[in-house]
Structure 1
Amino acid sequence: MKETVLDVLMYLLENYQEGEFADADNQDTLHEELVAAGFPEEEVRQAFRWLDGLAAQRQLPIVFGPSGALRLYAREEMAKISAECRGFLMYLEQLGILDGTLREVVIDRLMALREEIDLERVKWVCLLVLMNQPDAEEAFGHLEEMVYYHGEFKH
Protein backbone atom coordinates (compact mmCIF):
# COMPACT_ATOMS: atom_id res chain seq x y z
CA MET A 1 0.00 0.00 0.00
CA LYS A 2 1.30 3.47 -0.90
CA GLU A 3 1.59 5.60 2.22
CA THR A 4 0.78 9.29 1.80
CA VAL A 5 1.83 12.44 3.61
CA LEU A 6 -1.51 12.45 5.39
CA ASP A 7 -0.94 8.86 6.54
CA VAL A 8 2.31 10.01 8.16
CA LEU A 9 0.54 12.98 9.76
CA MET A 10 -2.30 10.80 11.04
CA TYR A 11 0.25 8.37 12.52
CA LEU A 12 1.97 11.26 14.29
CA LEU A 13 -1.33 12.56 15.63
CA GLU A 14 -2.35 9.16 16.96
CA ASN A 15 1.00 8.06 18.40
CA TYR A 16 2.83 11.16 19.64
CA GLN A 17 2.17 14.22 21.73
CA GLU A 18 2.10 17.50 19.78
CA GLY A 19 5.28 18.75 21.46
CA GLU A 20 7.16 15.68 20.26
CA PHE A 21 6.67 16.37 16.56
CA ALA A 22 6.34 20.15 16.71
CA ASP A 23 9.81 20.49 18.25
CA ALA A 24 12.45 20.82 15.52
CA ASP A 25 15.05 19.13 17.75
CA ASN A 26 12.90 16.00 17.89
CA GLN A 27 12.20 15.84 14.15
CA ASP A 28 15.40 13.96 13.24
CA THR A 29 14.62 11.22 15.76
CA LEU A 30 10.99 11.05 14.68
CA HIS A 31 12.06 10.99 11.04
CA GLU A 32 14.20 7.91 11.70
CA GLU A 33 11.39 6.24 13.69
CA LEU A 34 8.85 6.88 10.92
CA VAL A 35 11.13 5.48 8.21
CA ALA A 36 11.85 2.46 10.44
CA ALA A 37 8.06 2.02 10.85
CA GLY A 38 7.79 1.65 7.07
CA PHE A 39 6.87 5.12 5.86
CA PRO A 40 8.64 6.20 2.65
CA GLU A 41 11.46 8.71 3.14
CA GLU A 42 9.97 11.31 0.78
CA GLU A 43 6.53 11.16 2.43
CA VAL A 44 8.11 11.66 5.87
CA ARG A 45 10.07 14.69 4.61
CA GLN A 46 6.90 16.12 3.04
CA ALA A 47 4.97 15.56 6.29
CA PHE A 48 7.51 17.59 8.26
CA ARG A 49 7.42 20.33 5.61
CA TRP A 50 3.63 20.32 5.91
CA LEU A 51 3.92 20.68 9.69
CA ASP A 52 6.42 23.52 9.24
CA GLY A 53 3.88 25.24 6.97
CA LEU A 54 1.23 24.78 9.65
CA ALA A 55 3.51 26.27 12.29
CA ALA A 56 4.24 29.22 9.99
CA GLN A 57 0.48 29.88 9.69
CA ARG A 58 0.36 30.50 13.46
CA GLN A 59 2.85 33.33 13.03
CA LEU A 60 0.81 35.26 10.45
CA PRO A 61 -1.49 38.05 11.64
CA ILE A 62 -4.52 37.06 9.57
CA VAL A 63 -7.63 39.21 9.95
CA PHE A 64 -10.87 38.47 8.15
CA GLY A 65 -14.14 40.29 7.73
CA PRO A 66 -17.20 39.88 9.90
CA SER A 67 -18.21 36.44 11.06
CA GLY A 68 -20.72 34.81 8.78
CA ALA A 69 -19.07 36.27 5.68
CA LEU A 70 -19.34 34.07 2.62
CA ARG A 71 -16.13 32.31 1.56
CA LEU A 72 -15.60 32.16 -2.19
CA TYR A 73 -13.29 29.39 -3.33
CA ALA A 74 -10.75 29.80 -6.12
CA ARG A 75 -11.01 27.45 -9.12
CA GLU A 76 -7.99 25.47 -7.94
CA GLU A 77 -9.53 25.05 -4.49
CA MET A 78 -12.86 23.93 -5.96
CA ALA A 79 -11.08 21.42 -8.19
CA LYS A 80 -9.23 19.90 -5.23
CA ILE A 81 -11.79 20.28 -2.41
CA SER A 82 -15.17 18.75 -3.26
CA ALA A 83 -18.53 20.33 -2.49
CA GLU A 84 -19.02 17.75 0.27
CA CYS A 85 -15.72 18.76 1.88
CA ARG A 86 -16.46 22.47 1.53
CA GLY A 87 -19.86 21.82 3.09
CA PHE A 88 -18.21 20.07 6.01
CA LEU A 89 -15.94 23.09 6.59
CA MET A 90 -19.00 25.36 6.56
CA TYR A 91 -20.72 22.99 9.00
CA LEU A 92 -17.74 23.22 11.37
CA GLU A 93 -17.92 27.01 11.17
CA GLN A 94 -21.64 26.98 11.95
CA LEU A 95 -20.94 24.79 14.99
CA GLY A 96 -18.26 27.22 16.14
CA ILE A 97 -15.49 24.62 15.85
CA LEU A 98 -13.70 26.63 13.15
CA ASP A 99 -13.61 30.37 12.74
CA GLY A 100 -12.69 32.19 9.54
CA THR A 101 -9.00 32.20 10.37
CA LEU A 102 -8.82 28.48 11.15
CA ARG A 103 -10.89 27.68 8.06
CA GLU A 104 -8.28 29.47 5.96
CA VAL A 105 -5.48 27.54 7.64
CA VAL A 106 -7.32 24.26 6.95
CA ILE A 107 -7.82 25.21 3.29
CA ASP A 108 -4.16 26.19 2.97
CA ARG A 109 -3.01 22.89 4.48
CA LEU A 110 -5.41 20.90 2.27
CA MET A 111 -4.04 22.65 -0.79
CA ALA A 112 -0.49 21.86 0.39
CA LEU A 113 -1.20 18.12 0.19
CA ARG A 114 -0.23 16.47 -3.07
CA GLU A 115 -2.83 13.75 -2.70
CA GLU A 116 -6.52 13.55 -3.46
CA ILE A 117 -8.73 15.17 -0.83
CA ASP A 118 -11.76 13.36 0.54
CA LEU A 119 -13.93 13.97 3.61
CA GLU A 120 -11.82 11.75 5.88
CA ARG A 121 -8.68 13.67 4.93
CA VAL A 122 -10.44 16.97 5.60
CA LYS A 123 -11.40 15.75 9.08
CA TRP A 124 -7.82 14.73 9.85
CA VAL A 125 -6.40 18.02 8.56
CA CYS A 126 -8.92 19.90 10.72
CA LEU A 127 -7.78 17.88 13.75
CA LEU A 128 -4.13 18.61 13.00
CA VAL A 129 -4.83 22.32 12.58
CA LEU A 130 -6.87 22.53 15.79
CA MET A 131 -4.25 20.58 17.70
CA ASN A 132 -1.72 23.22 16.67
CA GLN A 133 -3.83 26.04 18.17
CA PRO A 134 -3.05 26.82 21.83
CA ASP A 135 -6.60 27.89 22.72
CA ALA A 136 -8.62 25.35 20.73
CA GLU A 137 -8.75 22.39 23.15
CA GLU A 138 -12.55 22.45 23.37
CA ALA A 139 -13.01 22.68 19.59
CA PHE A 140 -10.42 19.92 19.13
CA GLY A 141 -12.35 17.72 21.57
CA HIS A 142 -15.63 18.25 19.73
CA LEU A 143 -14.09 17.50 16.35
CA GLU A 144 -12.19 14.51 17.71
CA GLU A 145 -15.46 13.09 19.00
CA MET A 146 -17.08 13.65 15.58
CA VAL A 147 -14.20 11.95 13.77
CA TYR A 148 -13.76 8.97 16.07
CA TYR A 149 -17.25 8.30 17.41
CA HIS A 150 -19.96 9.78 15.21
CA GLY A 151 -18.85 8.33 11.92
CA GLU A 152 -19.99 10.11 8.82
CA PHE A 153 -20.91 13.75 8.45
CA LYS A 154 -24.59 14.27 7.67
CA HIS A 155 -25.71 17.50 6.01
Structure 2
Amino acid sequence: MFEVLVFVYENYWRGDACPEPEQLGRKLSAHGFEAEEIREALHWLDGLSLATQGLQIEHSPDNDEASATVVLRGRPEAALPQSDNAMRIYSQAEQDHLGAECLGFIRFLESSNVLPCGLREIVIERAMAAPGDPVALDELKIIVLMVHWSTGIEPDALVLDELCESREGRTAH
Protein backbone atom coordinates (compact mmCIF):
# COMPACT_ATOMS: atom_id res chain seq x y z
CA MET A 1 0.00 0.00 0.00
CA PHE A 2 2.77 2.46 0.90
CA GLU A 3 4.47 2.04 -2.48
CA VAL A 4 1.20 3.13 -4.10
CA LEU A 5 0.95 6.14 -1.77
CA VAL A 6 4.51 7.18 -2.63
CA PHE A 7 3.70 6.89 -6.34
CA VAL A 8 0.59 9.08 -5.87
CA TYR A 9 2.59 11.65 -3.88
CA GLU A 10 5.38 11.80 -6.47
CA ASN A 11 3.05 12.04 -9.47
CA TYR A 12 0.32 14.34 -8.13
CA TRP A 13 2.10 17.05 -6.17
CA ARG A 14 -1.14 18.31 -4.60
CA GLY A 15 -4.16 16.39 -3.41
CA ASP A 16 -6.52 18.44 -5.55
CA ALA A 17 -4.51 17.46 -8.67
CA CYS A 18 -5.16 13.77 -8.07
CA PRO A 19 -7.74 12.14 -10.35
CA GLU A 20 -10.94 10.54 -9.10
CA PRO A 21 -10.46 7.13 -7.41
CA GLU A 22 -11.72 5.09 -10.37
CA GLN A 23 -9.40 6.81 -12.85
CA LEU A 24 -6.52 6.73 -10.35
CA GLY A 25 -7.07 2.99 -9.89
CA ARG A 26 -6.77 2.44 -13.63
CA LYS A 27 -3.57 4.51 -13.80
CA LEU A 28 -2.06 2.62 -10.88
CA SER A 29 -2.97 -0.69 -12.49
CA ALA A 30 -1.37 0.43 -15.74
CA HIS A 31 1.82 1.18 -13.80
CA GLY A 32 1.94 -2.40 -12.57
CA PHE A 33 0.60 -2.19 -9.02
CA GLU A 34 -1.34 -5.22 -7.78
CA ALA A 35 -5.11 -4.97 -7.43
CA GLU A 36 -5.05 -5.60 -3.65
CA GLU A 37 -2.41 -2.87 -3.10
CA ILE A 38 -4.46 -0.44 -5.19
CA ARG A 39 -7.66 -1.30 -3.32
CA GLU A 40 -5.98 -0.77 0.09
CA ALA A 41 -4.38 2.51 -1.00
CA LEU A 42 -7.61 3.90 -2.49
CA HIS A 43 -9.50 2.95 0.68
CA TRP A 44 -6.82 4.67 2.79
CA LEU A 45 -6.88 7.78 0.54
CA ASP A 46 -10.67 7.89 0.84
CA GLY A 47 -10.28 7.92 4.62
CA LEU A 48 -7.70 10.70 4.31
CA SER A 49 -10.10 12.72 2.19
CA LEU A 50 -12.85 12.30 4.80
CA ALA A 51 -10.47 13.19 7.64
CA THR A 52 -9.35 16.43 6.00
CA GLN A 53 -12.83 17.60 4.96
CA GLY A 54 -13.37 19.46 8.23
CA LEU A 55 -9.90 20.96 8.25
CA GLN A 56 -9.57 24.70 8.13
CA ILE A 57 -6.11 26.08 7.40
CA GLU A 58 -5.25 29.43 8.95
CA HIS A 59 -2.07 31.36 8.19
CA SER A 60 -0.52 33.47 10.89
CA PRO A 61 -0.12 37.09 9.70
CA ASP A 62 3.26 37.53 11.39
CA ASN A 63 4.99 34.51 9.82
CA ASP A 64 4.70 32.02 6.99
CA GLU A 65 3.84 29.04 9.19
CA ALA A 66 0.44 27.47 8.75
CA SER A 67 -1.62 26.22 11.62
CA ALA A 68 -4.43 23.74 11.23
CA THR A 69 -7.69 23.99 13.08
CA VAL A 70 -10.14 21.12 12.93
CA VAL A 71 -13.69 22.34 12.49
CA LEU A 72 -16.00 19.94 14.29
CA ARG A 73 -19.15 18.86 12.43
CA GLY A 74 -18.81 21.73 9.99
CA ARG A 75 -19.32 24.37 12.68
CA PRO A 76 -16.40 26.79 13.11
CA GLU A 77 -17.74 27.83 16.53
CA ALA A 78 -17.32 24.22 17.74
CA ALA A 79 -13.56 24.21 17.12
CA LEU A 80 -11.60 24.31 20.34
CA PRO A 81 -8.10 25.80 20.24
CA GLN A 82 -5.38 23.79 21.95
CA SER A 83 -3.95 25.35 25.07
CA ASP A 84 -0.18 25.84 25.31
CA ASN A 85 -0.25 23.56 28.35
CA ALA A 86 -2.23 20.79 26.66
CA MET A 87 -0.81 17.29 26.49
CA ARG A 88 -1.84 14.51 24.09
CA ILE A 89 -2.39 11.22 25.93
CA TYR A 90 -2.21 8.16 23.68
CA SER A 91 -4.53 5.21 24.23
CA GLN A 92 -3.01 1.79 24.76
CA ALA A 93 -4.15 0.78 21.25
CA GLU A 94 -2.40 3.84 19.77
CA GLN A 95 0.76 3.12 21.74
CA ASP A 96 0.78 -0.50 20.58
CA HIS A 97 0.04 0.27 16.93
CA LEU A 98 2.36 3.27 16.57
CA GLY A 99 5.22 2.10 18.75
CA ALA A 100 7.73 4.21 20.64
CA GLU A 101 9.74 5.26 17.58
CA CYS A 102 6.70 6.68 15.73
CA LEU A 103 5.33 8.37 18.86
CA GLY A 104 8.72 9.99 19.41
CA PHE A 105 8.82 11.20 15.81
CA ILE A 106 5.32 12.67 16.10
CA ARG A 107 6.45 14.50 19.25
CA PHE A 108 9.53 15.76 17.42
CA LEU A 109 7.35 17.14 14.60
CA GLU A 110 5.03 18.80 17.12
CA SER A 111 7.89 20.43 19.03
CA SER A 112 9.35 21.66 15.72
CA ASN A 113 6.02 23.35 14.90
CA VAL A 114 5.68 21.21 11.79
CA LEU A 115 2.66 19.25 12.97
CA PRO A 116 -0.05 21.39 14.59
CA CYS A 117 -2.54 19.54 16.78
CA GLY A 118 -5.20 19.33 14.04
CA LEU A 119 -2.82 17.70 11.59
CA ARG A 120 -1.37 15.51 14.35
CA GLU A 121 -4.79 14.02 15.00
CA ILE A 122 -5.26 13.26 11.31
CA VAL A 123 -1.79 11.68 11.14
CA ILE A 124 -2.61 9.50 14.14
CA GLU A 125 -6.02 8.51 12.74
CA ARG A 126 -4.53 7.59 9.35
CA ALA A 127 -1.64 5.73 11.01
CA MET A 128 -4.16 3.72 13.03
CA ALA A 129 -5.84 2.79 9.73
CA ALA A 130 -2.52 1.59 8.26
CA PRO A 131 -1.37 -2.03 8.38
CA GLY A 132 1.53 -3.11 10.57
CA ASP A 133 2.03 -3.61 14.29
CA PRO A 134 3.76 -1.39 15.05
CA VAL A 135 3.76 0.97 12.08
CA ALA A 136 7.30 1.41 10.74
CA LEU A 137 8.84 4.90 11.03
CA ASP A 138 9.35 5.12 7.25
CA GLU A 139 5.64 4.37 6.79
CA LEU A 140 4.68 7.04 9.33
CA LYS A 141 6.79 9.54 7.39
CA ILE A 142 4.81 8.68 4.26
CA ILE A 143 1.59 9.21 6.22
CA VAL A 144 2.79 12.64 7.39
CA LEU A 145 3.71 13.55 3.80
CA MET A 146 0.30 12.40 2.56
CA VAL A 147 -1.53 14.46 5.22
CA HIS A 148 0.44 17.55 4.20
CA TRP A 149 -0.17 16.67 0.52
CA SER A 150 -3.90 16.32 1.09
CA THR A 151 -4.21 19.67 2.85
CA GLY A 152 -2.00 21.55 0.39
CA ILE A 153 0.49 22.53 3.10
CA GLU A 154 4.04 22.25 1.83
CA PRO A 155 6.44 21.29 4.62
CA ASP A 156 9.62 23.26 5.18
CA ALA A 157 12.54 22.05 3.00
CA LEU A 158 14.47 20.66 5.98
CA VAL A 159 11.40 18.82 7.23
CA LEU A 160 10.71 17.52 3.74
CA ASP A 161 14.26 16.20 3.66
CA GLU A 162 13.73 14.45 7.01
CA LEU A 163 10.46 12.92 5.80
CA CYS A 164 11.86 11.74 2.47
CA GLU A 165 15.31 10.50 3.40
CA SER A 166 16.05 7.10 4.87
CA ARG A 167 18.24 6.82 7.97
CA GLU A 168 20.39 4.20 6.27
CA GLY A 169 23.70 5.58 5.09
CA ARG A 170 23.53 8.66 7.32
CA THR A 171 26.47 9.48 9.51
CA ALA A 172 25.68 10.86 12.97
CA HIS A 173 27.49 14.12 13.77
Offset from partner CA, 1:42-66 (integer Å, 9 cap, x none): 2212211211211111223254531
CA RMSD across the alignment: 2.3
1 CA distance for matches of 2:121 and 2:136? 17
1 CA distance for matches of 2:24 and 2:166? 31
The answer on whether the counterparts of 1:92 and 1:98 sit within 8 Å (CA) in structure 2 is yes
Distance 1:128 1:140, change over 3 A: farther
Q: Tell me which protein shows more helix as a share of its residues.
A: 1
SS of match in other structure, 1:103:
helix
Distance 1:84 1:53, change over 3 A: same
Within 5 A, what are the aligned runs for 1:23-102? 23-24=19-20, 27-60=21-54, 61-62=71-72, 63=80, 65-102=82-119
Rg larger in structure? 2
1 CA distance for matches of 2:3 and 2:138? 11
**2:142 aligned to which of 121, 124, 140:** 124
Within 5 A, what are the aligned runs for 1:116-155? 116=133, 117-134=135-152, 136-137=153-154, 139=155, 141-149=157-165, 151=167
Q: Tell me which protein shows more strand as a share of its residues.
A: 2
The answer on whether the counterparts of 1:97 and 1:142 sit within 8 Å (CA) in structure 2 is no
Q: Percent identity?
A: 32
The answer on whether the counterparts of 1:127 and 1:140 sit within 8 Å (CA) in structure 2 is no
2 CA distance for matches of 1:150 and 1:44? 24
Count the aligned residue pairs. Answer: 145
TM-score by length of 1: 0.81
Counterpart of 2:159, as a letter, is: L
Residue aligning to 1:105: 122
1 CA distance for matches of 2:112 and 2:23? 38
TM-score by length of 2: 0.73
Offset from partner CA, 1:3-41 (integer Å, 9 cap, x none): xx12211111112333332x42xx322211212222121
The answer on whether the counterparts of 2:102 and 2:137 sit within 8 Å (CA) in structure 1 is yes
Counterpart of 2:100, as a letter, is: A
Cα shift at 1:146? 1.5
Residue aligning to 1:7: 3
SS of match in other structure, 2:131:
coil
